[in-house]
Amino acid sequence: MFAGFDYGSSNCAIGVWQQNQVNLVPLEGKSHYIPSTLYALHPSLIVSQVHQNISSDVLKQDYQKSRQALLNSLPLVKSNLDLRDDECKIHLGREAIEEYIACPEEGHFVKSPKSFFGAVGLKQQQLDFFEDIACAMIMTLKQRAETYLDAELNHTVIGRPVNFQAIGGEKSNQQALTILSNAAVRAGFKNVDFLYEPLAAGIDFESRLETDKTVLVVDIGGGTTDCSLVKMGPSYRNNNDRQKDFLAHTGKRIGGNDLDINLAYHGLMPLFGSNTTLKSGIPMPNQPFWNACKINDVILQSEFYSSKNQRALSDFVLEVSEPLKFKRLLNLQRNKQGHQLVRTAELAKISLSSENEYLADLGFVENGLNHYIAQEQLASAIDSCITQVIHLVIDAIKQGGCQPDVIYLTGGSAQSPLIKAALKNALGDIPMLNGDHFGSVTAGLTKWAKQLFS
């Protein structure tokens, strides 16, 4: 059996072809979507779970050799953490978020792991870590889908952004694809293929077109924005080779997570002292505050939560003009609450798409701490991100050499009225259609898998 697998930056979903249509499989209770988050008390627990569930003897032996040190450390880790066998588990989705919020200072919490796969300068140990995370997630979700379907999933098409990173180019893309390929094969898929996410969304849209059109697909996901200019319609949809129909692709690592991070920095960090000064009158350096918010940068997060940085921030308190505010940043660092801060900004962003004002609850930082954020503040905070999205759209049209007949919007952040207004301002009155913001990519991946594997 084949499946479309949307291993997204914000959510994961699996689609299968049943009764001549795409059906999404429940992955978390009754929900077809599960947040792309993982929590484990120690990396060896992730490695152990992957090792136990690799079905191929050859792949298991190969994996054991490459991860022997972590597998050997498991008894000591269990002893040090006082873990029973039934507690040696990893957590995915909302369960992972709940575990992290309950004990933010312990364990490893990873949100949007795909955002890191193409990162430049990763050491082999870090590459192995992200490969293990991807495998543990894909393996677990594949098993849940197979249990629900009572059938084995052997083949899959996985969605990929046009570019995993703004820098690194094709080398970063190949690094990320290698991580995903290795993870999917270890998880039990015999055949793995990839498809650009905006093309997947476009393929789903194409099945409803009654006439041929040039379609600009704009997919604004959690970690990336991808644009594809594609010839679509009845004359094209049954072609197995669509390369000549794909006129242009552009993509960049800018997405919903970046909107949240920017709003967290501009809208919430003033409560932590970002807009204050040193006692000398010099403006406060912005780097500590950006590092706190940059949850999609593994290097900056490692630096921010290091013991060295904690000592530096503790010393720095003596130099600032408003130490009470700055101590909030120190507490945030000590308690590893950056993800909670950015999640608060995300909730504000969602609310401000329809409301004029949002009361952000920061009680997890300090009892009774809250702050109003207005729509105007959101617009100002994410203006630079929206500008980058518009540049990608315009570049795709220039590369394609023709104007689109219609703009097809998909991805969670494509719902933003600010983004739609910016697109209209840049492109004029080209019709804009909304897709299934979360399901269109999965549906397209599944339809492409049908063409490849059925």
Alpha-carbon distance 454 to 452, whole Å?
6
Alpha-carbon distance 156 to 352, whole Å?
37
Determine the residue type at 363: G
Alpha-carbon distance 81 to 227, whole Å?
46
Q: Which residues pair with 232 in a beta bridge?
A: 213
Alpha-carbon distance 322 to 227, whole Å?
45
Chain-centre distance of CA 331, in angstroms? 26
- pLDDT for the residue numbered 166: 60
Q: Which domains, from first to last, does the chain contain?
A: 2-197 (3.30.420.40), 212-255+385-434 (3.30.420.40), 257-383 (no CATH)
- pLDDT for the residue numbered 268: 97
Question: Where does 401-439 have alpha helices with state H?
Answer: 417-427
CA proximity to 25, closest of 9, 1, 46: 1
Report which DSSP code applies to 331.
H
Model confidence over 168-223: pLDDT tens digits?
Answer: 688 989 999 999 999 999 999 999 999 988 888 888 888 889 999 999 999 898 88
- pTM beyond 0.75, yes or no: yes
Model confidence over 35-77: pLDDT tens digits?
Answer: 999 999 889 999 999 999 999 999 999 999 999 999 999 999 8
Decide: helix, strand or coil at residue 23.
strand
- pLDDT for the residue numbered 163: 84
Structure tokens that stand for 283 in this block:
């403006």
Structure tokens that stand for 450 in this block:
């049908």
| Phi, psi dihedrals of residue 129, rounded to the nearest 5° | -60, -45
Alpha-carbon distance 186 to 55, whole Å?
8
164: Cβ–Cβ under 8 A, 6 or more apart, which residues?
Answer: 114, 117, 118, 172, 173, 175, 176, 224, 253
Query: Could you tell me the CA-to-CA distances from 281 to 222, 229, 278, 322, 384 in Å, in that order?
Result: 38, 52, 5, 11, 28
Structure tokens that stand for 239 in this block:
């072609």
Residue with tokens 């080209």: 430
Determine the residue type at 277: T
Mark the ranges of the chain whose per-residue pLDDT is less than 70.
166-168, 436-437
- pLDDT for the residue numbered 207: 83
